[in-house]
Amino acid sequence: MLESGEMYLETILVLKEKKGAVRSVDVADEMGFSKPSVSRAVSLLKSGGFITVDKNGFIELTGPGREHAEKIYERHTVLSELLVRLGVRRETAINDACKIEHDISDETFDAIKKHIAEHTP
């Protein structure tokens, strides 16, 4: 999946947790993207089987969509916290984690999680 699709899935997951219900307009507002851009992304995610959209426009993550969104969100939170612990300002850490989370391999991320678990009191 492309980085942009992962960003949309992560945003839908976070909004769903915050608001309970998510529509394309919510995603557009949260991400600062135009409604046509979000509409195109939603269409692609829907055709890929990652989300469903009901007749009222409410978006739901499918099983595979939720799994992918949770994976990206975990990477984001773990990497953000690691960078903060290393002394990076929180805002910078969050922005950098967003860039890293899409490119890091499973092997490297698992090693980072293991290291944190072994070195956190």
Q: How far is CA 80 from CA 39, 47, 89, 90, in A?
A: 29, 31, 10, 7
Per-residue pLDDT 10s for the chain (121 aa) are: 566 888 899 999 999 999 999 999 999 999 999 999 999 999 999 999 999 999 999 999 999 999 999 999 999 999 999 999 999 999 999 999 988 988 899 999 999 999 988 888 7
Return the amino acid letter for 72.
I
- Rounded to two decimals, what is the model's pTM? 0.84
91-120 tens-digit pLDDT: 999 999 988 988 899 999 999 999 988 888
The helix/strand/coil state of 91 is: helix
How far, in Å, CA of 3 to CA of 82, rounded?
21
